[in-house]
A = this chain, B = another copy of it.
Amino acid sequence: MNDTFLRACRREPVDRTPVWFMRQAGRYMPEYRALREKHTLLTLCRTPELAVEVTLQPIDALGVDAAILFSDLLLPLEPLGIPFDFKAGEGPVIERVVRSADDVSRLRRFEPREALRVVLEAIRLLRRALDGRVPLIGFAGAPFTLASYAIEGGHSNNFAATKSLMYQDAPAWHRFASLLAELMGDYLRAQVEAGAQAVQVFDSWVGALSLADYREFVLPHVRTLFERLKGLDVPTIHFGTGTGHLLEAQREGGGDVIGLDWRTPLDTGWKRLEGAAVQGNLDPTLLFAPRERLLAGVDDVLAQAGGRPGHVFNLGHGILPGTPVENVKAVVEHVHARTGR
């Protein structure tokens, strides 16, 4: 089995730097687009066989060192009592937003092993299908990022409604965030029991907060979530974007591996995360660049990592639609060639 990814997460020496990509299965791949012509995004997520098929698409096509479960961050909103849908070109749309203490009170605590069993079934099938080729990563949204969708009703540029709830009714916010922390902790535990060999917590939008707000409104819940993962023998990854001002606090929150994006140079970022492994941090838009510039960018990330144990090569955020597949593949090959012994 190719265990370079798991070893790097544990900061053990590796034969070559492992590579995987956020959203490595997705719209940029023709195989994925072909499936999407027949099924909605939610059908892909909720049909274990289809989720397995999509998850596997990039494994052979790219030669990456880890598979990540194909699923959506928002799936847990439905059993919580927050239905949602995806509108073409608009992303997620949530009609019944959470804006008040009453709204929070109406949310339903659920048992992930039941409410999200299609996801766990996909994980079980995937482990069998992967047959040890590469490790399988499970994931869930962090309290802030997941709550922000429920509060804003979709993606936001300024998170005004989310911050307003924090500021105007801190107890309601904390109840919501702690519920999400507990549920996502349980959900990730269930994913590991089903076979996930590492888990990533996506706090994609938390960089919108000041450090003081992060410490007051988010950190306690992130800590709850990661504490619920203790005792599981799998590496945990803590990811965000635009969090250069939050790194030390994120590290306090938990995670064996901390994600860095391209705004944080990998070398100085890693120094601030003493004792952790790091994942990142190529700008996803560099995958649109001519080959020479793209690979120079990859070399720069590798030089900043300096061959120290504990670097997982990845982008700073997910692969964008329209990304040329051959460029993604070239990055995998280049990282392997450059770092292989």
| Chain B neighbourhood of A265, CB < 8 A | 210-211, 245
Provide the main secondary structure of the chain A interface: loop
B167/A210 in contact, CB under 8 A: no
Shortest Cβ-Cβ A-B pairs, 5 listed = A167-B289, A163-B285, A164-B288, A210-B262, A245-B263
- Which chain B positions have C-beta within 8 A of A322? 160
Q: Is the CB of B212 within 8 A of A300?
A: yes
Chain B CB within 8 A of A41 CB? no
Within 8 A of B (CB), among A148-180: 155, 157-160, 163-164, 167-168
| CB neighbours of A78 from chain B (8 A) | none
A270, chain B: closest CB distance, angstroms: 15
A290 interface residue, CB < 8 Å from B? Answer: yes
Residues in B neighbouring A300, C-beta threshold 8 A: 212
Closest residue of chain B to A264, judged by CB?
B245
Q: Which residues of B contact A92 (CB under 8 A)?
A: none
**Oligomeric state, in number of copies?**
2
Taking CB atoms, residues of chain B closer than 8 Å to A288 are 160, 163-164, 167-168
Which residue on B lies nearest to A162, using beta carbons?
B285
Nearest residue, chain B, Cβ from A317: B158
User: Are B320 and A286 in contact, CB atoms less than 8 angstroms apart?
Assistant: no
Q: Please state if B286 and A167 are interface contacts (CB–CB under 8 Å).
A: yes
- Chain B residues whose C-beta falls within 8 Å of the C-beta of A289 in the assembled complex: 164, 167-168
List residues of chain B with CB within 8 A of the CB of A211: 263, 265
Taking residues whose C-beta sits less than 8 angstroms from the other chain, chain A's interface range is: 35 or more
Interface flag for A193 (CB, 8 Å): no
Asked if A207 is at the interface of the complex by the 8 Å CB criterion, the answer is yes
Mask for A270-304, Cβ within 8 A of B = 1, else 0?
00000000000001111011100110000010000
A294 to B, closest residue via Cβ: B167
In the complex the two chains form, what is the Cα distance from A299 to B167 in whole Å? 16
Q: How many angstroms between the C-alpha atoms of A173 and B213 in the bound complex?
A: 38
Cβ B207 vs Cβ A263 within 8 A: yes
Q: Is the CB of A160 within 8 A of B264?
A: no
- Which chain B residues border A209 with CB–CB below 8 Å? 263
Residues of B within 8 A of A155 (CB): 157
Q: Are A285 and B160 in contact (CB under 8 A)?
A: yes
- The CB with the most chain B CB atoms within 10 A, among A167, A210, A212, is that of A210
Please measure, in the bound complex, the distance between the C-alpha atom of A14 and the C-alpha atom of B40, giving whole angstroms: 61
A220 / chain B contacts, CB cutoff of 8 Å = none
Known pairs A242-B242, A285-B159, A320-B160; A168 contacts B290 (CB<8 A): yes
B263 and A164 contact, CB distance less than 8 A: no
What chain B residues lie within 8 Å of A157 (beta carbons)? 155, 157
**Cα separation A136 to B238 with both chains bound (whole Å):** 46
Chain A positions 226 through 264: 1 when the CB is less than 8 Å from some CB of chain B, otherwise 0: 000000000000000010110000000000000000111
Q: Mark A189-221, 1 if CB is under 8 A from B, else 0.
A: 000000000000000000101111100000000
Which interface residue of A158, A264, A265 has the most chain B CB atoms within 10 A?
A158
CB of A205 to closest CB in B, whole Å: 11
